[in-house]
Structure 1
Amino acid sequence: MDLQKIKALIDLLAESPLAKLEVIEGEDRVKLVKAKRRGSRAGVASGDERAASTPASDVQGIQSPLAEPAQSVDATRAAPAPATASELHLVRAPMFGIVHLTPAPGEAPFVCVGDTIDEGQVLCTIEAMKMFNAIESEFSGAVREILVAPGSEVESGQPLFRIG
């Protein structure tokens, strides 16, 4: 993969609400990861930016600014939420695609209603253009509601989970 493609991917990631992006072309694999700043939900890590084109056995990261996700409202599946609305946080889809609540068909779901989760824990994946993008929680707490059905199409900004 040439440097121009890698730079284009960095720009694409910087302008999107995604936290991670991985591209595989033949034997080359590039994984881009945005860094978070202390005291804020998003930011640029102090230090270096790295870009690499590597064999599939190696993975390199690229750190760049993190954008805030879009805002939208839609709920298709819900469980009762005992916490008040002010205590709950929504995890929103950063892109259009098909939501998968399990790592693979027949496996246990990433999370269930009532599970206690940590910030950065994978909640689901969204399949877009034959790529599976892990959606991680920006919050710690308990999963109060799952707002999407497995295999459903979601839009950018659509609420996926309610965390409280």
Structure 2
Amino acid sequence: MDIREIQNLIKFVAKSGATEVKLEMDDFKITIKTTDAAASEATAYVQHIPMGQPVAQAPVAQAAPVAAPAAPSAPAADDNSKYITIKSPIIGTLYRKPSPDKPVFVEVGSTISKGDVVCVIEAMKLFNEIESEISGKIVKVLVDDASPVEFDQPLFLVDPS
């Protein structure tokens, strides 16, 4: 299934009025959730399932962590409203170090400038340097090293002052 087919599926689900649709194929799983207030807004999660594992086992292990961060982030958003969030531009595995024997790119308290590399994300065996689009001070690291990240997932909180 290519990206165009996924986009068409999202549009179809949004127009149908369904609140959640799950589609499982041999090598991936797609979950599309829409909100009741605005059926045109849809969120899709595409999950690649390794061929060596049973299909029934992977969705159970992966589904819970996706839903869990959504609930606690709402109250925290009020406390962190003065901070700017650096979000993941791609899906992949986040690494905070350029290599295992090197120090981390940034830590809590590090001062960054626009264009500084804050982490790398590995996607399909390519390591993509993630650069800061703002200047400021790192106040919170939201993702652990070697953790999988989703598109638009918050990675760091930055105090721009």
Q: TM-score, normalised by structure 1?
A: 0.49
Which has the higher Rg, Structure 1 or Structure 2? Answer: 2
Give TM-score scaled by structure 2 length: 0.50
- Which one has the bigger strand percentage? 2
Bigger RCO of structures 1 and 2 (CA < 8 A, at least 6 apart): 1
